Structure 1
Amino acid sequence: MTTHPVTETEATQASPGTAHPTRPRGRGKNVRWSIALLCFGGLAVNYLDRSTLSVALPTMSKDLHIGPETQGFILSAFFLTYALCQLPAGALLDRFGVKRVFAIGAIWWSVATVGMGLVRGVGTLVGARLLLGAGEAAGYPAPAKAVSRWFPRHERTLANSVWDNGARVGTAIALPLVTLLVSAFHWRVAFISCGLLGFLWIIGWWRLYHEPADHPKVTGEERAYIEAGGARVEETPAESAAAAQVRWRDLFRYRTVWGMMLGFFCLNYVVYFFITWFPSYLVDERGFDLLKLGFFGTVPGLVAIAGSLLGGFTADRLLRKGWSTTKVRKTCLVSGTLCSSVIALAVVVPTAAGALALLSLSYASLTFATASVASLPADVAPTAGHVASLAGIQNFASNVAGALGPIVTGYLLASSGGSYLVPLLVSGALSIVGALTYAFVIKSVEPLQAR
């Protein structure tokens, strides 16, 4: 077994006592955080565009004569191409670079969003939805790779939590924005407007994103700080030779990769309960009316944003204190997923307030762990040219759970007469399975060795 040649990076990641380089201070020496915010904007638009249909569907279904059974198929069609295209999207990002591939993906999904505003029937709507999923597949592995190149190891988790919160912000603003556009104009205007918003972000991305070595505003001091801190920068000739030893398909031979996939599958299964069935739970199980739903239904999402930032801050703080990468990741991943299992207790507490508190804690615990999940590809990639590939593989597994979770929950509700007891018990059990996976299936968090 031959180890890859990035000995400095590997030593930085594996040695608990390694001293971190001094952070540059002063104006103009934190360009890397503008990159994280740029990725945040991209993911916010990504989730806004995918959520537009959910908000506009009740109105457009009347115009296009779409029945309830067909609506479910249209909504789920997105996940078919989105999950499958995670795999090639990651490989393309590693091969052709973040700037180009993320821009092409954004153009693709923006065109598909505008196209949904022009459809005349179910067939073209399903086609546009499938195209949307394929284009949006770059939305997760691209920021993960960008952060791996721009941030030292001990700042990477917080940076990942910044862009990952774009998903929650984009989903949150979709409801009021799309509702306003549909009510004031037409559902077609809502799709076209949201699609055009994507093109505005693309212009900003193309003008503002550069690699650390090429950015016109980054100082030599900041660049040195990024590289000395273990950022996964451009491959050296030696790394390129090592990359040839670990082909894309070879990544599936590693126990760590399967642990990443299974762990994120379990975590995202529970996350999708909040994205899909959570409003129905509040209405059906806790008797919320629309007013209460609109006000209290936003609480878990807001708490989840704080949980994500806390997860990023905590992990980076522990790394700076000298904890090993393995100890930090396992601490955050296991504690976050294990704590999220309190979702199972929401069905037994007597009050709606108590249930809402438990659900908020569960969602925040999930996002606390997600900050470290997004950092795993950069932590374990054998070379810098494998980061996005691993991110795509990991996110593929998570979106299989995203597609299956709502279906399984619906089936369990139907078979139990509408009771949420079993669905939430299953979610809680999967949280525990996820914690056990991160604890025992992944042995150590370090760069994979070429075989």
Structure 2
Amino acid sequence: MTALGSKTAATPSATPPRLMTRKRWVIIWLAFIGLSINYLDRSSLSVALPFMGKDFELTATQQGLIFAAFFWAYDFCQLAAGWYVDKVGPRRSFSLAAVWWSAFTMVTAAASSFWSLFAARFLLGVGESPAPSTAAKVVATWFPVRERAFATSIWDSGSRVGAVTALPIVTLIVALTSWHAVFIIIGVAGIIWAAVWWKYYRSPEEHQGANTAEVDYIREGGARGEASDDAGAAKLPWRSLFKYRTVLSMMFGFFCLNSAIYFFITFFPSYLVKERGFDLLKLGFFGAIPGICAVLFGWLGGYLADRAVRAGASVTKVRKTAIAGGLAGGSVIMFAALVPEAWMALALLSVAYSSLTVAATGIWSLPADVAPSSRHVGSIGGLQNFASNLAGIFTPILIGVLVDQTGSFVAPLAVIGAVSLVGAANYLFIMGKIEPLKVKEAWTQQ
């Protein structure tokens, strides 16, 4: 019987029924592929740029400005993107976003100057802005609480997979053809994925492949759907979310996390080439190690978090342990520029990136954990992602300026490590209990 048919009563259970379909896992792995392409698009320039010297003569500061152009658009569109995701739903928001970002990825191949490259990156950022909030909404809609962290770790690992695969894929394409072909090929992949997502994605109740047992399991496990929303909470205005300390803490904490993560998305390849003397072959092979570690430990962290919730641990304890512990572990990035050998730097960067990824899994579980209704999951995801990507604006510029002024990466990595520790303290001591936000009646009438 499909999800559109009549349902029989089911007893809530942490163990999935044997005859239950598993369409939620197909959905989340499809979202993973979408996020992988999303991050492959945005990371491809950072890998290709060191080998575009014959066409572009850019200082480190100019490179930082080009990297930041993406985040200026991506970040300030987050506020509207979260609202848009809640308004139109994941099917439409993800498909249209993928078409947009793929188109401007291909436009990058036609860039011929600083300003044309700047414009292409800016418009790419506009198109990519709905993606993470959409994925968070998908998890909230399709997964019970006891599976939320692992499902989040899957789609969030797409960002790491995209960044990791950018190294061998881009270097191979550059070696065989030219840097122009990189952006054409990746853009076409995004268009194909958008068509598949539009064809396949539906909500659990509307999906022809999800049977009654799976839909009941999802809903009884605490997934967020309009049918279970409190009427008063659903009316909470978007602007009232800023009145909650929990939301403000989420915004600040995610800013701290991304201050470290965006080093890996922007200047990491340049660091290996310029500071550690990596050539094209070494960059494509050894440069992928931190990202591979991050993907594996992100999945492990999500799995262990869900296992702890199923064993009876509170969501607050599980999320704070993963997030604060991950940020603390990420602070070892400050030592990577100090060690004498390249393999030592790679080891430290692998520890840092893996720890930060575990933290990110917990952070992206929070919108579904704290949203007062299903209509606020995307909005809260957009708010925290807006704050986090302010780091995408400032961090590349800061790194570029400090590298130009000091001639090394010691100072910028020290700053990034310190900010990670501040972020850990924020989640431990500022954020309160992790639960759906309580709605005051007066706030719903504004």
With the length of structure 2 as denominator, give the TM-score of the two structures: 0.89
1:21 lines up with 2:14 in the alignment: yes
* 1:346 Cα deviation from its structure 2 partner: 3.2
How far does the alpha carbon of each residue in 1:26-73 deviate from its partner, in whole angstroms, 9 at most, with x for none?
A: 5x621110011010011111112223333444666645x664465543
1:135 aligned to 2:142?
no
Matched, 1:43 2:32: no
Per-residue deviation, 1:254: 0.7
> Which residue does 1:201 correspond to in 2?
193
Render the CA deviation track for 1:146-165: whole Å, top value 9, x for unaligned. Answer: 01100000101101111111
Mark the CA change 1:289 to 1:190 in structure 2 (over 3 Å): closer, same or farther.
closer
Q: Which residue of 1 aligns with 2:381?
A: 391
**Distance across 2 between alignment mates of 1:162 and 1:291:** 29
1:343 match: secondary structure: helix
TM-aligned CA deviation for residue 234 of structure 1: 2.2
Q: Distance in 1 between matches of 2:399 and 2:50?
A: 22
Query: Secondary structure of the equivalent of 2:17?
Result: coil
The yes-or-no answer on 1:449 pairing with 2:420 is: no
User: For residues 363 and 178 of structure 1, do their structure 2 counterparts lie closer, same or farther at Cα, with a shift above 3 Å needed?
Assistant: closer
The counterpart of 1:297, out of the listed 287, 312, 315, is 287
1:424 matches 2:413: yes
Look up the match of 2:325: 335
Task: Report the alpha carbon displacement of residue 253 of structure 1 after superposing the two structures with TM.
Answer: 0.8
Q: Which amino acid aligns with 1:375?
A: S
Shift of 1:116: 2.6
Q: CA deviation at 1:341?
A: 1.8
1:402 and 2:395 correspond: no
Tell me the residue number matched to 1:230.
222
8 Å CA contact retained: 1:265, 1:398: yes
Q: Deviations over 1:243-278 (max 9, x none)?
A: 22x211111111001111111111111112222333
CA distance in 1, matches of 2:123, 2:337: 38
SS class of match (2:150)? helix
Alpha-carbon distance in 2 for matches of 1:56, 1:279: 9
Q: Does 1:239 align with 2:239?
A: no
Task: Determine whether 1:258 maps to 2:237.
Answer: no
Q: Matched residues in 2 for 1:280 and 1:110: separation?
A: 25
CA contact (8 A) 2:46 2:265 kept: no
Higher mean C-alpha deviation, range 344-353 or range 303-312: 344-353
Q: Which residues in structure 2 correspond to 1:26-425 (within 5 Å)?
A: 26=19, 29-57=21-49, 62-63=54-55, 67-68=58-59, 70-119=62-111, 123-235=115-227, 239-244=230-235, 246-286=236-276, 288=278, 290-415=280-405, 417-425=406-414
Structure 2 CA distance, aligned partners of 1:247 and 1:151? 25
Give the residue type in structure 2 aligned to 1:221. A
Partner Cα separation in structure 2 for residue 22 and residue 285 of structure 1: 51
How far apart are 1:345 and its partner, in Å?
3.3
The alpha-carbon distance between structure 1 residues 339 and 60, as it changes in their structure 2 partners (threshold 3 A), is: closer
Q: Which amino acid aligns with 1:378?
A: A
Aligned CA-pair RMSD: 2.3
Mapped to 2, the partners of 1:174 and 1:162 lie a distance apart of 18
Amino acid in the other structure paired with 1:164:
D
Give yes or no for contact 2:39–2:162 (8 Å, CA) kept in 1. yes
Cα distance between partner residues in 2 of 1:86 and 1:374? 15
* Greater displacement, 126-135 / 434-443: 126-135
Query: CA separation in 1, counterparts of 2:370 and 2:43?
Result: 32
* 1:52 partner letter: S
Unpaired stretches in structure 2, ≥5 consecutive residues = 1-11, 441-446
**Cα distance 1:163–1:347, how it changes in 2: closer, same or farther (>3 A)?**
same
Superposed CA offset, 1:297-346 (max 9, x none)? 22111111111111101110110000111111111111111122222333
Residue 291 of structure 1, CA deviation = 4.5
Letter in 1 for 2:104: A
- In structure 2, give the amino acid aligned to 1:445: I
Instruction: Please tell me whether the aligned partners of residues 379 and 447 of structure 1 are also in contact (alpha carbons under 8 angstroms).
Output: yes
Structure 1 residues 427 and 414, CA gap change in structure 2 (3 angstroms): same
User: What count of residue pairs does the alignment treat as equivalent?
Assistant: 428
**C-alpha deviation, 1:114, in angstroms:** 2.5
Q: Residues 288 and 121 of structure 1: is their aligned pair in 2 closer, same or farther, counting only changes over 3 Å?
A: closer
Distance 1:410 1:56 in 2: 17
Counterpart residue identity of residue 404, structure 1 = F
Q: CA deviation at 1:107?
A: 1.4
Q: CA deviation at 1:286?
A: 4.5
After superposing the two structures, state which structure 1 stretch, 268-277 or 178-187, moved more: 178-187
Contact 2:47-2:269 at 8 Å conserved across structures: no
Judged with a 3 Å threshold, the aligned counterparts in structure 2 of structure 1 residues 334 and 85 are, in CA distance, closer, same or farther, namely same
Q: Over residues 68-104 of structure 1, what are the superposed CA-to-partner deviations in whole Å (9 max), with x where a residue is unaligned?
A: 4655433321111001111101001111111111111
Structure 1 residues 404 and 289, CA gap change in structure 2 (3 angstroms): same
Equivalence for 1:434: 423
Paired with 2:101 and 2:359, the residues of 1 have a C-alpha distance of: 28
* Matches of 2:268 and 2:44, distance apart in 1: 18
Q: Decide whether the 8 Å contact of 1:168 with 1:305 is kept in 2.
A: yes
Q: What is the percentage of aligned positions where both structures have the same residue?
A: 50
For the residues of structure 1 that align with 2:298 and 2:188, how far apart are their CA atoms? Answer: 29
Residues 385 and 340 (structure 1 numbering): CA distance in 2 closer, same or farther, change over 3 Å? Answer: same
308-317 vs 104-113, which moves further: 104-113
